Every structure is written in C-alpha cells, then in structure tokens.
Chain A
Amino acid sequence: QKEVEQDPGPLSVPEGAIVSLNCTYSNSAFQYFMWYRQYSRKGPELLMYTYSSGNKEDGRFTAQVDKSSKYISLFIRDSQPSDSATYLCAMSAVGEYGNKLVFGAGTILRVKS
C-alpha cells in the first residue's frame, strides 16, 4: 500500500463546475499537507498549505483536512479552463521525515470551455 493514494484521473469537468480532488494517506505521522498545481513541462506551484484539521480557503480554492480519517481534499469553485493541470497532494511529518514531502500520484484535471 502506498503511503499516499491519489486517483490519477483524468477528471474532466465543464467550465464553472465545482471540482473535488482527494487524497488518502496511511501514515498518521503526517502533520503538514499541501496541494500543488503542475502545468505540463513545468515545476509544481504551491496552491494551499495547511497543518490542522478543518478547512482553509483562498479565493476559489478550499483545502480540507480530516486527520481522523486520514483524508484531504481540494475544492475548486467556478473552475476555469486555465485550471486544467495536474494537481498533486503532498504531505510531510516532523521527526523522521523533517521537511521531506511524500507525494500522491497526481490527478489530471481538464476543464472544458
């Protein structure tokens, strides 16, 4: 079993739809959770960063963390064609991992105009 599971998609939605991207993890030591967006042939770009259970909102993006279920989500409201990219969840723990990130496989998102 992988430490971080993420459905690779692709996920195809119409413009304006609400997108839900999810990851599950098995290591309860993970304390820090991130979502990155990666356009084709580019480096990952940090979208959201959180370290506590609950919701964090930034513009059209909402990150949700449920540590009891070991489940994190990223919601994108009013999706745009420019949101089409690969979305990677990542997480890290203190101690053993330090700042070393463990990535999900990435979900390919396609927003159709």
Chain B
Amino acid sequence: GAVVSQHPSWVICKSGTSVKIECRSLDFQATTMFWYRQFPKQSLMLMATSNEGSKATYEQGVEKDKFLINHASLTLSTLTVTSAHPEDSSFYICSATSQGAGDTIYFGEGSWLTVV
C-alpha cells in the first residue's frame, strides 16, 4: 500500500529556533498534502492544505508566518515551525493523496516536537 514518511519522528529544539519537518510520499505522486496538529487525547486539527507548486491554504486561526509550508515537488512537503515556543510543542502529522476527490488519504507516522 501507499506509504507516507515523516522525518524526524522526534525533535527537541530550543525556544526561539526554527525546526523543519518533512513529509514524503514514497510510492505515489501526492498532488495534495495536508498538515495536522494533534494535542494529547484530542483529535487531529487541520492546519493547512498544500498543493504542489502553489501556496498552502491555511485554516482559520493558523499563523501562516509561523508555520511555513512548502510543497516543492509531488513527493515532498515541508512544515517549518519558525521561532518556536513551548506552546508549539505538539504532535504534527501529514497526510497525502493523489489527484481526484475521493482518493484515499494516507497518513505519515507523525512528528513529535518538544520546544524547551
């Protein structure tokens, strides 16, 4: 089946620094990738939708200057958390799908970010 890989799985960074998380589709071309945030014991909160070659569409309340999303190719999207603060500590998950409404969406394994 399709595989979506995220890297790193775990990252600890100092407050004020930036951290980049990669999301790769390994065996299909992902025209659309989604970035989610999940707090403990809560459901996934969609942050933004990323289409290859175009600017990401952010959900209401998500700071686009803080959470930079780049989808430079059909197999790679990146999320950069800029000037991270402890409240940015969370589980970040990406998902990817191929073109066409209704195509299956596959999730990455997630990336745990801890800002100290």
Q: Which residues of chain A come closer than 8 Å to B109, judged between CB atoms?
A: 42-43
Contact B108 A43 (CB under 8 A): yes
Contact B105 A101 (CB under 8 A): yes
Q: How far is the CB of B39 from chain A (nearest CB, A)?
A: 12
Pick from A32, A100, A104, A106: contact of B34, CB under 8 Å: A100
Contact B105 A34 (CB under 8 A): yes
Given contacts A99-B32, A103-B44, A106-B43, contact A46 B49 (CB under 8 A): no
User: For the complex, what is the distance from the CA of A99 to the CA of B46, rounded to whole Å?
Assistant: 12
User: For the complex, what is the distance from the CA of A25 to the CA of B104, rounded to whole Å?
Assistant: 20
Task: Spell out B's residues near A (CB within 8 Å).
Answer: 6, 32, 34, 41-44, 46, 49, 91, 93, 95, 97, 101-110, 112
Contact B105 A43 (CB under 8 A): no
Q: How far is the CB of A76 from chain B (nearest CB, A)?
A: 20
Given contacts A41-B91, A99-B97, contact A94 B43 (CB under 8 A): no
Given contacts A99-B97, A99-B105, contact A42 B44 (CB under 8 A): no
| Closest 5 pairs between A and B when the two form their complex, measured CB to CB | A43-B110, A94-B101, A43-B107, A43-B109, A44-B107
Number of interface residues of A (CB under 8 A): 25
User: For the complex, what is the distance from the CA of A88 to the CA of B43, rounded to whole Å?
Assistant: 8
Contact B49 A31 (CB under 8 A): no
- Which chain B residue has the least Cβ–Cβ distance from A4? B43
- Which chain A residue has the least Cβ–Cβ distance from B57? A100
Q: How far is the CB of A100 from chain B (nearest CB, A)?
A: 6
A92 interface residue (CB < 8 Å to B): yes
Q: Which residues of chain A come closer than 8 Å to B97, judged between CB atoms?
A: 99
Given contacts A88-B44, A103-B44, contact A44 B93 (CB under 8 A): yes
Q: Which residues of chain B come closer than 8 Å to A43, judged between CB atoms?
A: 6, 93, 107-110
